Amino acid sequence: MTNSRGLASDIRSYGNIWDKRKEIEQIVAANLKLPLATILGKWNEPGRHYHDLSHLDNLIGQIYELNDTGRVPLVLLALMHDVIYNPRSADNEDASREFFDRHVKHGSSFKEVVGEGIEHTKYQGQKKPKSEIIRTFLRMDLKGLFTGDMSKLLSNEKKIFREYQWLDYAIYRDTKPDLLVHTAENYCWLLPKREQAASLARVRAFTDYLRARRPNAGVYAGSYNPFHIGHMNILHQAEKIFDKVIIAVGMNPEKADHQDWQTVAQERTEAIAKQLPFHQVEAFRGFLAHYLERKAKDQDVTLIRGIRDGFDLRQEVIQLRYIQELYPDLKVVYIPCKKEFEHISSSWLRLLESIEPGSSVPYLCGAQQDEWMDRVKKE
């Protein structure tokens, strides 16, 4: 069994899916026109941290704790309600419904209830489904919000925060708590009346924490002319350390282009954002120290520096002294790239390109290759 990101074929790390895979495959084969492997691949696409296979596995586990009644439509709802998910999109539910309608078999007796169930996931509790199957699924899907303890709420929040790391934290902080309370209030009818007040109180207490929280953010700054696979290696390592990593694109005076600053900044940020659509990518002008100080107003900020060798480290230490004079509270972490990337630098890629157009492409990240070639042709 495979998926779009090359997940190990046996998916043994997802115990509920693995244990029930034969039965789930039979349900899928009887009702849908595509294999289970394709659906699981969708659930493992980039950008998913909460709405991923672990969440699906949790739902499958809850479903199989019930008796056989209603199990088939619940499994189909679990598989299809977030089969299409893009953290930056506002129409995931509609896209999932369209995907389901396109792939459901004409003779499936569960087409109507599953389609309606997917629709109800976008109503934010404002419409109460008549179907007990849909009500049961909504309870399962929101179990972590209503019945989880604070540690579970925090664990889920960290995953959701990663899905929204492309959003500036000040915006996230000012909107997420209200959205969470709104969701809990609108869906509290799913709970017995005796549990509603305590559950809402727990959610509100958790949102107080969210409003005061200062995430651990790394700022990976550079001129990125161009952003290459060595940079990507540092980013992947940094993401294991920080809650989020901001890609800060600065204009290096020694690497200045002849174009105006705004045009160059827009070209570079757009090119990187195409490769990293679920990250915050933004340009800054002036001293890096001042940019870091602004970012540190509502989050704990650490500067990330990638190094290839001892020479790089020596230069970085010199630069650090200047930055610290402007921003004494600076925190910095140096991350060495893997050995196979030590020879790669943006300046060398520009040199290669000046000698033979296209020779730098193997060192670029996929989505940047076309943009880089277009820029080279213009210069």
The tokens 């074929």 sit on which residue? Answer: 9
Is residue 363 in some structural domain?
yes
DSSP label at residue 341: G
User: What is the reported pLDDT for 316?
Assistant: 87
Identify whether residues 252 and 107 lie together within a single domain.
no
The CA–CA distances, whole Å, from 213 to 126, 205, 315 equal 29, 13, 35
75 within domain boundaries? yes
Whether residue 226 is preceded by a cis peptide bond, meaning omega within 30 degrees of 0, is: yes
**In this predicted structure, what is the pLDDT of residue 1?**
46
4 found inside a domain: no
Q: Is 332 helix (H, G, I), strand (E, B) or coil?
A: strand
Mark whether 169 and 232 lie in a shared domain: no
Residue 117 resides in a domain: yes
Return d(Cα 24, Cα 29) in angstroms, integer: 9
Region 142-166 average pLDDT: 91
Domain residues for the domain of 133 are: 15-212
Nearest alpha carbon to residue 92 among 128, 119, 131, 111: 119
Name the least confident of 135-144, 204-213, 351-360.
351-360
Whether residues 184 and 275 share a domain: the answer is no
Do 186 and 225 have their domain in common? no
> Mean pLDDT across the stretch 279-283?
96
Check whether residue 69 and residue 155 sit in a common domain: yes
Q: What pLDDT, on the 0 to 100 scale, is given for residue 260?
A: 76
Q: Is the pLDDT score of 114 beyond 50?
A: yes
Report pLDDT for 253. 60
- For the segment 222-250, the average pLDDT, to the nearest whole number, is 95
Please give the model's pTM, rounded to 2 decimal places. Answer: 0.87
Q: Are residues 239 and 343 in the same domain?
A: yes
| pLDDT (tens digit per residue) in 244-257 | 999 999 976 655 55
Rounded to 10°, the helix 71-80/111-120 angle is: 50
Q: Are residues 179 and 102 in the same domain?
A: yes
| pLDDT for position 262 | 80
Residues 195 and 285 in one domain: no
- The rounded mean pLDDT for the chain is 89
Phi/psi of residue 336, nearest 5 degrees: -75, 140
Per the structure, the count of domains in the chain is: 2
- Alpha-carbon distance of 93 to 122, in angstroms, equals 6
264 domain-assigned: yes
N-terminal to C-terminal alpha carbon distance within the chain: 47
CB 276 within 8 A of CB 373: no
Domain C-terminal end among 212, 242, 273: 212
Whether 1 is covered by a domain: the verdict is no
Residue 74 domain-assigned (yes or no):
yes
Residue 259: inside a domain: yes
Please tell me whether residues 202 and 222 are part of one structural domain. no
Which of these three, 212, 240, 275, is where a domain ends? Answer: 212
- Asked whether residue 316 falls in the same domain as residue 167, the answer is no
Question: Lowest mean pLDDT: which of 14-23, 249-258, 283-292, 314-323?
Answer: 249-258
In the chain, DSSP assigns E strands to: 216-222, 244-250, 280-284, 300-307, 332-336
pLDDT tens profile 325-351:
999 999 999 999 999 998 998 889 989
Query: Among the three residues 193, 212, 231, which one is the final residue of a domain in this structure?
Result: 212
Does 320 lie in the same domain as 185? no
Q: Is 219 exposed, middle or buried (0-12, 13-18, 19+ CB in 10 A)?
A: buried
Same-domain check for residues 164 and 267: no
DSSP code for 339: G
Share of the chain above pLDDT 90, in %: 72
